[in-house]
């Protein structure tokens, strides 16, 4: 008997992993240059010459990431949702993605300067949670579809 599964097309799966890794690298790279490599006498985040390009790459990757998530499509969500065992981790993944997208938008529209550090560090915390939530999601889902 065939084992029920909810696999994604391999290119899409690889694309999701690659973009999540690149978002992580560009986000952490920005933190590195704007904080860790800031001259001692400069306020942080410092305007390091790589800070702008890294953020531009990161912001562009965010569009690509959200597009790839949309390509996951309702079939994956609907078929997966029929298995109660995966629901909690799926909700964690989707909630993390949504919160990242909303806090990411906040960088463009937050008018209050005092809000910015809160936004930044909660976005970073969510960003660190993303690969964990994705790995947990995939691990649980795969365990279910194994014979
Ligand atoms: C209600 C929401 C979701 C549910 C119930 C769900 C359910 C599942 C299940 C059951 C699997 C295991 C597939 C298998 O091994 O046969 C899986 C795998 C996977 N899911 Fe989801 N999923 C949801 C949302 C998402 C979203 C939004 C993403 C986008 C980041 C995503 C990315 C993946 C990936 C990359 C895999 C591994 C696929 C593979 O091995 O080919 N899922 N999901
Ligand atoms: C789906 C995932 C993500 C989305 C949609 C997203 C979105 C965004 C957006 C739109 C910006 C503003 C870019 C700009 O000002 O040009 C931003 C900034 C940033 N993101 Fe992400 N991001 C994601 C994942 C991550 C991850 C994984 C990290 C790693 C920890 C991260 C760390 C950062 C940092 C440090 C900034 C700069 C904050 C600042 O300017 O104060 N993000 N993100």
Q: Domain residue spans in the chain?
A: 9-62, 83-147
Spans of the chain, pLDDT less than 70: 1-3, 147
For ligand 1, atom 1, name the residue with the nearest CA.
77
Ligand 1 pocket test, pick from 94, 137, 145 with the greatest ligand atom count within 8 Å of Cβ, gives 137
DSSP secondary structure of 41-101: TSPSSP--TTHHHHHHHHHHHHHHHHHHHHHHHHHHHHHHHT-HHHHHHHHHHHHHHHHHH
For ligand 1, atom 15, name the residue with the nearest CA.
142
Q: What is the reported pLDDT for 4?
A: 74
Q: What is the reported pLDDT for 1?
A: 47
Q: What is the reported pLDDT for 5?
A: 86
Which run of H or of E encompasses 138?
helix 115-145
The model carries a pTM of 0.94
Among the bound ligands, name the one nearest to the CA of residue 97.
2
């Amino acid at each position: 008997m065939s084992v029920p599964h909810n696999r994604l097309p391999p290119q899409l799966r690889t694309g999701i992993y690659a973009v999540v890794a690149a978002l992580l690298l560009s986000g952490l790279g920005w933190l590195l240059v704007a904080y860790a490599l800031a001259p001692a006498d400069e306020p942080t985040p410092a305007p390091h010459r790589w800070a702008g390009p890294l953020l531009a790459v990161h912001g562009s990757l965010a569009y690509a990431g959200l597009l790839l998530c949309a390509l996951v499509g309702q079939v994956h969500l609907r078929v997966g949702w029929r298995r109660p065992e995966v629901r909690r981790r799926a909700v964690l993944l989707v909630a993390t993605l949504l919160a990242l997208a909303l806090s990411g938008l906040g960088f463009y529209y937050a008018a209050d300067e005092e809000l910015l550090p809160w936004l930044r560090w909660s976005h970073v915390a969510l960003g660190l949670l993303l690969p964990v939530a994705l790995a947990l999601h995939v691990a649980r889902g795969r365990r279910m579809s194994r014979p």
